Structure 1
């Protein structure tokens, strides 16, 4: 099944944008004066001691400082030249190991301009997984922030191919730490940019079939697997999502805070770059005025940035919902009664009841009850995309009512470059992930053993299998696992078997209902879900 709004699969956002380097270069010319990448200025950093003697870092952050699209592109070009001038070989890989920040995108785009494959690694990965990822892909240059830099001396003897270190100056780096880097050529991010500015090297642009990223999944068991994502995979997902988000463009502002080592955030930021949207960087620990790392009395990221677009995982939205309900409960009295009445009236309206609130009434409740809640996220958010795990119906309704925004639910995996299904912006139903994205096909394959078949009534059920332009090459250096879950049909179409169990609703929307790995066979042959 494909998206019924399109007669054929979408492959590129516009003609010529067949790879990430071309997409960013064309976007930088199209939006050259617009704000592109923003980072908050650090005013000061202090440590507060708690009653039990523990110290907590508190940040006073100022306004966002912006690079325009033209400036961000020039920085990427300079970084690309500086990287080669530093000694990085064109046939070797570069890895990025840092928290989400503007330098990650500039470094990645710089690598793409020289057709270098970028290895992305979760900053939270343990030592063994980090060593495995770097050695398996034979990384010769590692780009990291100062926090990750301090981890390297302890594992230096285990790193087989590493030759160069580039560190981002997000915090002061002590001379003692740099002295421990004598095994490698070590430069700061700024030094590499300056080196490239004075020693320009012509671009070596990739094709759509070249590998852009080897993304190591966090993995629930064993060592992580590296998924090979091509430039064509990334631009096709970008093109598809651009058709789904309503009125996406230069007037939007996006808050980037999820890990860029995750395909969900990488895909989202690529969509924003292609759309001329301003991307402001933050973190979960500095997001709101009451976030853990924000100095009391100063503003969190959303208060300063006032984003119009955000993405999230369910756990974060659940925490926002719980915090609001807890605060309302603590106030009690008339405040709680009014909140509950307004919430239930609007809930009934969203679910189509004649007994729900009408438009003029909803305006009153929005201004009286829900406006302060919306201010928690800057007051301008108009669209939320949620992915990474199923979103509960209670939390989705909370977002619809208290924040007054539609919530798009996405379904995809690293292996499908985040692209599989995406709910339409005006679909208020809960529990579904929408129709297939326009860049791919989605089909169900019967799993007779587990009791799921495409002939089931009232809806066909089976394993979710995704094919099309967003399907990645496979797992790096792991043909056995690749051949197990990637299949090519008689027409030459490449399919990925997700292991998820889904069902198609009559309107073509997909719902994920189970996972093959969660189903176990009992002694007498009966299959049950261990989660159930």
Structure 2
């Protein structure tokens, strides 16, 4: 999957060391109790295993094939609440409802250094501080300012803007700013090659490109092949090396566009449900990337549906954002957080854990610093977490391996429908004896 590009090998050994090396008498007793008690209780009360029903068939209007709907949903859901029919309306209403709550968080860069590998290559290491937060109200004000700034660059609903950048808070602010003026956004993976980038921008006739500062030089190399681009807006960073000019393009920093809009506010021109919100380009793994058009109604309905599947999401939740926002998976997840009034803390795949490739030794990874209650994951990340755990368990062997395998099987049964395993004594025992250390790799919550 394109989402998983650049994901590092996650090292869980340090987090598991206490569990693996514990050979005390008390630990042995706890193991025996953890295994014996739930098995006895399960045999007394569980009876036949109950299989969860997850979906029910629905009519598809006489068309061939069939469709399924989540069993919890009584009817088709298209909005989270009345009036939130577009991305712009949903964002504005949620920001006003949760105006004083923290919304977007970014870690402060304390130090950047480079170390040499055994092969002589240089590797970047980052020392990152605590998360610094903006409230829903503050973010909404920035969105409005950026939207007004776009108008002064000559934009209207007939023009398109592309975002070519890694995931960060400014990505979402720019995205929502476009919608305040009913401008369709083209999303492009930061990892795409030159041919795919040229194809995506020319096919959609993009007039303004928003990108990371580090991608400015890459954009400059293809400038002569871009047919409609007139403006480039770059996200500042601590090592920004902005290019003064690229051909005849106007080059502006993100903060400059915000400042222009703040000094010259423009009334919003909001979209309707059927307007195209996003043209989202694929990774291009089978030839040139393809652009998928999604309306405001499409994305809003996805968020509304997720809220019914996971109904407990709310302002107390904290979401760790690190997957590409250029993919619908991450974009939909962050839209759900906006809907729920939850906090979003930004990180990256290379700074995710305490032992991630770009984390300076002794510095906390994003998960440890944020302690998220929610995160999205792709198979590559979950596989690497699993591989790290299994490798350490197999190295220890003996009682450790038997304990872990028993715990894993029982907790898997719990997920499949054992009430005792999911919520009773068994869950508490397995979590305390085995899984607490594993959970700490991703912040513990």
Q: Which residue number in structure 2 is paired with residue 148 of structure 1?
A: 215
Q: Which residue number in structure 1 is paired with residue 3 of structure 2?
A: none
Residues 1:197 and 2:262 aligned together:
yes
Q: Say which SS state the counterpart of residue 209 (structure 2) adopts.
A: strand
Residues 1:21 and 2:99 aligned together:
no
Residues 1:185 and 2:250 aligned together:
yes
Q: 1:123 & 1:361 partners in 2: Cα distance?
A: 45
TM-aligned CA distance change 1:160 to 1:307, over 3 Å:
same
Residues 1:215 and 2:301 aligned together:
no
Q: Say which SS state the counterpart of residue 336 (structure 1) adopts.
A: helix
Given candidates 173, 186, 197, the residue that maps to 1:119 is 186
The alignment's TM-score, normalised by the length of structure 2, stands at: 0.81
Q: Deviations over 1:225-251 (max 9, x none)?
A: 111111111111111111111311101
The alignment's TM-score, normalised by the length of structure 1, stands at: 0.68
Q: Tell me how far 1:89 sits from its aligned partner.
A: 4.5
Q: Is the contact made by 2:244 and 2:251 (CA closer than 8 Å) also made in structure 1?
A: no
Q: Is the contact made by 2:156 and 2:182 (CA closer than 8 Å) also made in structure 1?
A: no
Report which of the two has the higher share of helix. Answer: 2
Q: Which residue number in structure 2 is paired with residue 509 of structure 1?
A: none
Q: Which residue number in structure 2 is paired with residue 325 of structure 1?
A: 390
Residues 1:309 and 2:374 aligned together:
yes
Q: 1:124 & 1:256 partners in 2: Cα distance?
A: 18
Given candidates 221, 232, 235, the residue that maps to 2:297 is 232
TM-aligned CA distance change 1:366 to 1:156, over 3 Å:
same
Q: How does 1:84-163 map to 2 (within 5 A)?
A: 84-163=151-230
Q: Is the contact made by 1:140 and 1:161 (CA closer than 8 Å) also made in structure 2?
A: yes
Q: Say which SS state the counterpart of residue 312 (structure 2) adopts.
A: coil
Q: Which residue number in structure 1 is paired with residue 349 of structure 2?
A: 284
Give the paired residue count: 378
User: Which deviates more, 42-51 or 7-16?
Assistant: 7-16
Q: Deviations over 1:336-367 (max 9, x none)?
A: 34323433444455557899899424422311
Q: Say which SS state the counterpart of residue 312 (structure 1) adopts.
A: coil
Q: 2:78 & 2:225 partners in 1: Cα distance?
A: 41
Q: Tell me how far 1:116 sits from its aligned partner.
A: 0.3
Q: Deviations over 1:378-420 (max 9, x none)?
A: 110xxxxxxxxxxxxxxxxxxxxxxxxxxxxxxxxxxxxxxxx
Q: Which residue number in structure 2 is paired with residue 429 of structure 1?
A: none
TM-aligned CA distance change 1:45 to 1:151, over 3 Å:
same
Q: 1:358 & 1:119 partners in 2: Cα distance?
A: 45
Q: Is the contact made by 2:420 and 2:426 (CA closer than 8 Å) also made in structure 1?
A: no
Q: 2:419 & 2:74 partners in 1: Cα distance?
A: 38
Q: Is the contact made by 1:45 and 1:57 (CA closer than 8 Å) also made in structure 2?
A: yes
User: Which deviates more, 367-376 or 84-93?
Assistant: 84-93
Q: Which residue number in structure 1 is paired with residue 320 of structure 2?
A: 255
Q: Which residue number in structure 2 is paired with residue 270 of structure 1?
A: 335
Q: Which residue number in structure 2 is paired with residue 37 of structure 1?
A: 104
Q: Tell me how far 1:332 sits from its aligned partner.
A: 3.7
Q: 1:263 & 1:141 partners in 2: Cα distance?
A: 21
Q: 2:420 & 2:93 partners in 1: Cα distance?
A: 51
TM-aligned CA distance change 1:344 to 1:233, over 3 Å:
closer
Q: 2:418 & 2:101 partners in 1: Cα distance?
A: 44
Q: Say which SS state the counterpart of residue 207 (structure 2) adopts.
A: strand
RMSD: 2.0
Residues 1:64 and 2:131 aligned together:
yes
Unaligned runs of 5+ in 2: 1-57, 59-68
Greater RCO structure (CA 8 Å; 6+ sep): 2
Q: Say which SS state the counterpart of residue 374 (structure 1) adopts.
A: helix
Q: Which residue number in structure 2 is paired with residue 370 of structure 1?
A: 435
Report which of the two has the higher share of strand. Answer: 1
Q: 2:421 & 2:73 partners in 1: Cα distance?
A: 35
